[in-house]
Structure 1
Amino acid sequence: MAEHLEVDLGTVQGWESGRRPLGNMKAAALLSLRRRLGAMGAAPGVLGLLDPAMDADQIISAALDPAGWQAHPLASWVHTRDTAHMLAWALTGVAPSALARYVPAPRRGPSVAAPPLGTGDRLRVFDHLRETAEAAWRPSDALLRRQALYLASYDRSPGAVSWTAHALRSRRGDLVRRGWSPLWPQARSTATALARLGDPQPLLDFIEKRLVDDEAAETANLNYWAYWLGGVRLPQPDDRFMLDCEPTAWDPVTLLRGLTYGLHHAPGYVDLYAHTLWALLTSRPWLPLASPPLAGELTARTEALLDGGGLTERSRRELTTVHYVLRECT
């Protein structure tokens, strides 16, 4: 590999070990590296995760050495699902789905299945996220608090779960205020984090009180999902992009794909996915025609959910509408 890239062996070993972070390369050299790796046969989906991986590196670096940063990375841009999943890989050992088949199987002797972050450093990162969330109390810190608190919920140790649940529930009043407000992104993030911790009711309340029948909130939900799932290509410095009403601001097929493959019967989450799919396909009923294979996959998944039990009345009604739109397009 070093010979093909025309670098010395120590450089490649430095990239692999983290001694020479890719983020320290000059922009032109990094661009050249991407193209050479692609020409050597690297999977495009893996190359596409280089930016989120470097984003995750920055967040971890800021947590381990806060004094070295004038502005916290979590206050500078709205991170995406890919960045969150790369962070989770380092902090929890769970590989992103896009990389799962590339992770080497366990074998005898030393082997690495996740980014090399020691136990002590993982604890320091989580402690930093909690301290950051507690200290970010000013209105101008809303993005920093929202993202630090959401990432802190990845810590599933008993004491951490209790702290996170308490911190999130202190914001539950935001979940039932009607419609859009500057606190809407925080309320959405709070509800989804609580659902991950096993409490789906706040997410159901959020859908009913802060999403349904409010045009601005429905627009914000679609915009955020599109950004989170990679349908918005430009990085966003804050949450204001969620109010963008321009219909060409994101790729609807990318959004449909992400929602389709994320649709499963997880308490709370299935309701948010169902409502978002309903909003997407009722506003763009032509969308299944853009990708018949994807429409077929979504049809199979909605039928499986509708044939099973445990759906709320709203989710069953909305998935029935989604199924009808799909059937009309095939």
Structure 2
Amino acid sequence: MTVHGEARGLETLTASSPRPGQRLGAVSGHLLKEVRERIGVSQDQLSELLQVDKSTIQGWESGRRSLNSSRAGSLRAIRRNLLRLGGDPTLLMLLDQALDADSIINFVVNDHAIQRADEHPLASWVLTRDTTHMLAWALTGSSPASLPATEKLPRRGPTPSSPQLPRDELNAFFSQMRRAAELAHWSGDEAALLRRQALYLCSYDISPDTAGWLAEIRRRPPRTQTHGWSPNWADARSVATSLTRHGDHAALAAFMATGMGDEAGEAANLNYWAYWLGIDSLPKADDHFMIAAPAQSWDALALLRGLTDRLTPGIGAIDLNVHSVWALLGFRRGLLTADPNLSRNLEERVMVLLDSDGISAQARQELVSVHYGLRLTT
């Protein structure tokens, strides 16, 4: 098998000089290793096929050398060649999100002492689920939901099974995220996006005081929310869903009682879901896209598919997921007849949830309503 020499000379493009033991490209490097192993080639074979030195491949996969340091054209060449070799297209598409995750981690862990909230990369870039889950991969070791499943591949030696950061870097990351959230809190509504995203990422911290700290942040004035949408709405939603990761479901119930139930709140929730799941693919610089009329820039049927997949017992924010399906069907009543296979999948999931514990009385009523609607369309 031969490959064009588009990647020739890439070993000279990663000029960063990391501190001993530091990984500049942990997430993208581990993803690159996943692609290579699923193709079924060794590092020696890949270095020959890409016409780069083996040490470059080793540096990328270990994270010691960052793919972010390569020129954009070189990154495209890597991706094209990996696809030509049989690389999984889904994994290759996720490489951009992995690179984004690495850039955020490096900014935070390298202790950039920002003095203004708008200096932070999370202050003007709304993260999607895929980028957030790539970050979570490094923070928790849990594989992203978007990563295609495969059989466990045999590895030689004690190679890591995930790009999870070492404890000292995790501590530095979460410490800086808390600092960013505190700075954003005192910076007012202009820093609302940074505050929200920093708080959400902090929820991945397993430190014993995390839940208490998040709950204390939630109670701080003026971050209270009554009805409808404001810059605080998305913040309150993120904090409430974050707390469910630590077993606190009261905050989500309180948010749904105050932040949902009117036109503005329902529209904001659906717009956010569409962006989070990648159905609305246009990048966002702040949260104000949530106040648009629903489905102006996204496909309602695609959103129903995405939300249906999240109707699974045991998910922390299951009540919000149920409500979102119910609200979407109310917004677009013809969706239940648009895709018979989706309707069958939805009905199966609804029945499983109705037979399970762990959902609120409101969620149960909404599931009954969805089930009734499904019965009417069959």
TM-score (norm 2): 0.79
Deviation at 1:210, TM superposition (A): 1.2
Q: Distance in 1 between matches of 2:374 and 2:52?
A: 52
Find the partner of 1:26 among 64, 67, 71: 71
What is aligned with 1:38?
83
Letter in 2 for 1:161: A
Alpha-carbon distance change, 199 to 321 in structure 1, aligned in 2, over 3 angstroms: same
Deviation at 1:282, TM superposition (A): 1.8
Find the partner of 1:227 among 252, 275, 281: 275
Q: Distance in 1 between matches of 2:251 and 2:326?
A: 20
Alpha-carbon distance change, 113 to 168 in structure 1, aligned in 2, over 3 angstroms: farther
Find the partner of 1:12 among 37, 53, 57: 57
What is aligned with 1:326?
374
Find the partner of 1:162 among 185, 197, 212: 212
Q: Distance in 2 between matches of 1:165 and 1:108?
A: 44
Structure 1 range deviating more: 194-203 or 249-258: 249-258
Find the partner of 2:307 among 230, 239, 259: 259
Q: Distance in 1 between matches of 2:56 and 2:373?
A: 53
What is aligned with 2:196?
146
Letter in 1 for 2:204: Y
- The structure where helix makes up a greater share of residues is 1
Find the partner of 2:178 among 130, 133, 137: 130
Q: Distance in 1 between matches of 2:120 and 2:332?
A: 38
Letter in 2 for 1:170: R
Does 2:161 align with 1:113? yes
Alpha-carbon distance change, 124 to 104 in structure 1, aligned in 2, over 3 angstroms: farther
Alpha-carbon distance change, 163 to 182 in structure 1, aligned in 2, over 3 angstroms: closer
What is aligned with 1:83?
131
Structure 1 range deviating more: 100-109 or 186-195: 100-109
Q: Deviations over 1:55-100 (max 9, x none)?
A: 2111111112243988211112011111121111111111112337
Deviation at 1:142, TM superposition (A): 0.9
Q: Distance in 2 between matches of 1:310 and 1:162?
A: 23
Letter in 1 for 2:263: E
Letter in 2 for 1:5: L
TM-score (norm 1): 0.90
Q: Distance in 2 between matches of 1:60 and 1:90?
A: 9
Equivalenced residues, count:
328
Q: Distance in 2 between matches of 1:74 and 1:199?
A: 25
The 8 Å contact of residues 267 and 291 in structure 2, kept in 1 or not, is answered as yes
What is aligned with 2:149?
101
- Where do 5+ consecutive residues of structure 1 fail to align? none
Letter in 2 for 1:199: D
Q: Deviations over 1:269-326 (max 9, x none)?
A: 1210111001111222332444433322221110111133443232122112222333
What is aligned with 2:122?
74
Deviation at 1:192, TM superposition (A): 0.9
Letter in 2 for 1:44: P
Structure 1 range deviating more: 95-104 or 128-137: 95-104
The 8 Å contact of residues 204 and 268 in structure 1, kept in 2 or not, is answered as no
Q: Distance in 1 between matches of 2:179 and 2:299?
A: 36
Q: Distance in 2 between matches of 1:312 and 1:102?
A: 35
Q: Which structure has the greater CA radius of gyration?
A: 2
The 8 Å contact of residues 229 and 254 in structure 1, kept in 2 or not, is answered as no
Does 2:259 align with 1:210? yes
- Where do 5+ consecutive residues of structure 2 fail to align? 1-45
Q: Distance in 1 between matches of 2:154 and 2:210?
A: 29
Find the partner of 2:96 among 44, 51, 59: 51
Secondary structure in structure 1 of the residue aligned to 2:238: helix
